Structure 1
């Protein structure tokens, strides 16, 4: 019988080591569930594994971005849904509310608007994950000033109430006639603006007449003027109509009708015995009508325009203040500064509002999303609530009710969002963004599931198959160990 050589012994020992390594690897596969502990051991499948692993990593990154973006979009949508509800509520309240002062200076609608104003600001200053939602790209600066500062100012900085007061002085003028002058020379009355150019007060827009024995001309000249020249006495029922443009762009009309009654009723002037007396009566009636219009519609329009001056400024711009003092004779506006005025919005103003935030949600695909506090519809809702909160009344002047109604009508028009995007449209846009995110996430989930399934087929070890191999290998190892042990005890002496 041939005696084992050294080379045979070494070969057997190498075989055992190899089987031992296979045994250890199978134990690792059974414990980890993974076929190979390095890509090199996967052979030709390693390129596919590397490619799918990279794709999964990218998809996971997109999924994380979509999840964060979805949360921000949903919170923004919920907040603006509430802002839209407030806008609708204010519009309804303004239409139905009466003029009963519940706290001596404001109506119940105004008190409610003050609470809604505070709520809107809290909603616009919402934070998610330490990021302000409504400041555009500037996520670390509170976008909207606090309510008290916005209304009342702080320190040397003016708030909305001061804007309303200064603008009222400039629009009404020192004599309360809306910056108009009435001059009577003989039988000719001249109604003129007090300065040109000037952005304040009534602006003469048109004049018409059915008067016999009178000529109406204008408006013409700089400053604009209208002449009413009586050459005789008109007939009862004949009238003069004057149209005015108000500071907020709206219009009002004064119509005076000739009457033989003395004293005349509102909107009438008494026919005198001659042209001079009639013209004097017309002047007195027109003066009363202008002061009434100034104290009602002009005052309301002035307050609305003051709010526009305070709230409506774009990137690089500033609120517009009356260039005074003195304010009653001012003719122009000036840029406010951060030293003298509270800037209500402090967020990012670059680009298109609502598309400032960018999320990369797929290869080569970016989604612009978000909403900004200075978007027109949001700003106008805040503006309406702020103005209702800022205006106060004394209760003694019977014309205040007409001024209040003129104000609420104007704010109701603003909150109708006619011809402009509403807060609801912004919410709808956010809803479309959320749907896009959800659809993209669903597609990513399906792709990740497919990739994981393929990777599993390549990388995952079948525990039953591994178990069978382990049992077989264990049997082989035990047999090899027995052979090795037997060979180690053999020598030439055993055969002599």
Structure 2
């Protein structure tokens, strides 16, 4: 019998003991740290799961950091919009028609109050959060507006709003202060008064209607756009033996003002015995010669009309000019800044202002095309009775700006039956135009395609195609009517709708100018642009109210006669326009403070929902990671005890075997 160590291989025993020692050391580490391994290499088969979960947790952490930043900005927006809404309400209550205050204090203080509100608006729109300006769209590295003084008074030789107001008021008033309108009498027809503008231009009073309560007076209605005098009407006072105008009978003329509002002048006839000299009163001629009497009436009407024009020009027209200048200077998206071209007193056009001579009030991101106004395109419709044709035209708005609005690139007709109608005409130039003539031969399937081009840098072309149908028209269609006039009207309506839709698509949504990725397939859009409708109306209104001045109050002791006081009348005119600009009815307009606040609320909701999903998902991933990377210390302790027992036994057995020999065996 051979007794030796070959039956008990010590190397194998030592190897087993070494492995148990390593296991014991690992268990001690796990007991101390609660982690399965100290390095990724020690994770074994759990490594891919651990890496994947940690990567996902890192992504969620990035989303949460983005949400935290956006949350801070949305909080600022919420506070700013709340304050703006309050300022808007304060402004509506500060200036109301007929509310002049004790000793007319409201008239004296309204400019300073409006200036303070304007300054607060500018401050809020120029606010930054963490060095990021929030009201310039994607342009976040600079303030979108100049300071208030620069806006109002200019800087570096460039004109501010005050200069634009001065020019516009002079252009609207004219050299004689009568709103570029006047009455004249031809010596050959002394009983006929002609009323006309001093040319075709956008300034001053625009005659819109005329009426009389006297059957002895005949009038002609204004015809807009008649060159070269512009709108023209005539008032004929019939001489005896025809019936003459009687005391108390009136002649009323309506006018469209530069800001688009309406006003009217009513002149009342009276006889010499009852004449009071009140504004708007004219004396009926009483000469024994009937022709001279009619001429006297016409002359008295002319004098009263001129006097009343001057009074209304001091109040209503001046206020309208101030707000029109605000619209010219504080330009909306897709519109250029405009100024009077040439000598204001005799000017006949506006021009596009240059950054070299005029302060640009907003320098943030802005759309070059706006849905409002069809992207600076104007439509018209005429009917030619001689040729029995109706024509619809589309023209670029004057003054044309290469950087703002659609440009008309082409117009093409496709006739379904190979005929020649409707006929389209495209005229290039500045402004470019197109027209479509209808002669009654239109057939279903005929189509007109307009090609519109956006300004640089996009230069994108958009095609608007309108197809004739015999029944009810759908999108991109127009109905062939029972007459050429009806067909033309249907086409014009369809064209206005389609071009407006194209302009809206080109304009885009200011909210999308800035966005944040808050989850894998979800973004929060929260961009803001200071030239949106709500902010723009407040800027225009506050600026207009802050620069307006009022004549000296002459009838402070007679609160019941504001019409006799130019200061009160102008205050009323300004207050009425501010009420209109800041009316609650505008809350439904795109870009209003209220709708913007609602859109910010939607962004809040989307962001909070994403954050809640991240919280829940992170909890699941943390549990999974814990299962993969951590251990139960109780289980580890039990393993250590069991391993320690086996290791002790192994030590003893190995020691005994290592001493095994024949001598020891014997």
Q: CA deviation at 1:99?
A: 6.8
Indicate yes or no: 2:291 matched with 1:283.
no
- Give the secondary structure class of the aligned counterpart of 2:264: strand
Q: Deviations over 1:150-181 (max 9, x none)?
A: 11111211111111111001000111000112
Indicate yes or no: 2:638 matched with 1:468.
yes
Aligned to 1:134: 135
Aligned to 1:408: 575
Aligned to 2:265: 254
Aligned to 2:79: 78
Aligned to 2:320: 301
The runs of 5 or more residues in structure 1 that have no matched partner are none
Indicate yes or no: 2:192 matched with 1:192.
no
Aligned to 2:622: 452
Q: Deviations over 1:441-487 (max 9, x none)?
A: 11221111122112212321001111222233234334434554555
Aligned to 2:352: 335
Please say if residues 212 and 235 of structure 1, whose CA atoms lie closer than 8 Å, have aligned partners that are also in contact.
no
Indicate yes or no: 2:329 matched with 1:310.
yes
| Structure with larger RCO (C-alpha < 8 A, sep 6+) | 1
Please say if residues 100 and 108 of structure 1, whose CA atoms lie closer than 8 Å, have aligned partners that are also in contact.
no
> How far apart, CA to CA, are the structure 1 residues paired with 2:86 and 2:12?
86
> How far apart, CA to CA, are the structure 1 residues paired with 2:103 and 2:28?
86
Q: CA deviation at 1:341?
A: 1.1
Indicate yes or no: 2:480 matched with 1:480.
no
> How far apart, CA to CA, are the structure 1 residues paired with 2:644 and 2:573?
97
Choose from 100, 106, 109 the match for 1:98. Answer: 100
Q: Compute the TM-score of the two structures, normalised by the length of structure 1.
A: 0.92
Please say if residues 76 and 370 of structure 1, whose CA atoms lie closer than 8 Å, have aligned partners that are also in contact.
no
- Mapping of residues 425-436 of structure 1, within 5 Å: 425-436=595-606
Q: CA deviation at 1:100?
A: 7.7
Please say if residues 8 and 657 of structure 2, whose CA atoms lie closer than 8 Å, have aligned partners that are also in contact.
no
Assess, with a 3 A threshold, how the Cα gap between structure 1 residues 357 and 339 changes in structure 2: closer, same or farther: same
459-468 vs 389-398, greater mean Cα deviation: 389-398
> How far apart, CA to CA, are the structure 2 residues paired with 1:329 and 1:52?
76
> How far apart, CA to CA, are the structure 2 residues paired with 1:59 and 1:383?
44
> How far apart, CA to CA, are the structure 2 residues paired with 1:87 and 1:2?
108
Choose from 529, 535, 544 the match for 1:372. Answer: 529
The runs of 5 or more residues in structure 2 that have no matched partner are 287-292, 368-507, 555-564
Q: CA deviation at 1:24?
A: 1.9
Q: Compute the TM-score of the two structures, normalised by the length of structure 2.
A: 0.70
Aligned Cα RMSD in Å? 2.5
Assess, with a 3 A threshold, how the Cα gap between structure 1 residues 492 and 337 changes in structure 2: closer, same or farther: farther
The number of equivalent residue pairs is 492
Please say if residues 551 and 566 of structure 2, whose CA atoms lie closer than 8 Å, have aligned partners that are also in contact.
no
443-452 vs 358-367, greater mean Cα deviation: 358-367
Please say if residues 73 and 370 of structure 1, whose CA atoms lie closer than 8 Å, have aligned partners that are also in contact.
no
Whose helix fraction is larger, Structure 1's or Structure 2's?
1
> How far apart, CA to CA, are the structure 2 residues paired with 1:337 and 1:148?
19
Aligned to 1:229: 236
Indicate yes or no: 2:213 matched with 1:210.
yes
> How far apart, CA to CA, are the structure 2 residues paired with 1:145 and 1:101?
36
> How far apart, CA to CA, are the structure 2 residues paired with 1:125 and 1:6?
91
Aligned to 2:442: none
Please say if residues 332 and 532 of structure 2, whose CA atoms lie closer than 8 Å, have aligned partners that are also in contact.
no
74-83 vs 392-401, greater mean Cα deviation: 392-401
- Give the secondary structure class of the aligned counterpart of 2:211: strand
Aligned to 2:485: none
Aligned to 2:407: none
Q: Deviations over 1:260-284 (max 9, x none)?
A: 1234422221111110111111111
> How far apart, CA to CA, are the structure 1 residues paired with 2:71 and 2:199?
56
> How far apart, CA to CA, are the structure 2 residues paired with 1:489 and 1:109?
112
> How far apart, CA to CA, are the structure 2 residues paired with 1:282 and 1:62?
76
- Give the secondary structure class of the aligned counterpart of 2:140: coil
- Give the secondary structure class of the aligned counterpart of 1:218: coil
Aligned to 1:439: 609
Assess, with a 3 A threshold, how the Cα gap between structure 1 residues 204 and 99 changes in structure 2: closer, same or farther: farther
Aligned to 2:512: 355
Q: CA deviation at 1:7?
A: 7.3
Aligned to 2:249: 238
Q: CA deviation at 1:370?
A: 3.2
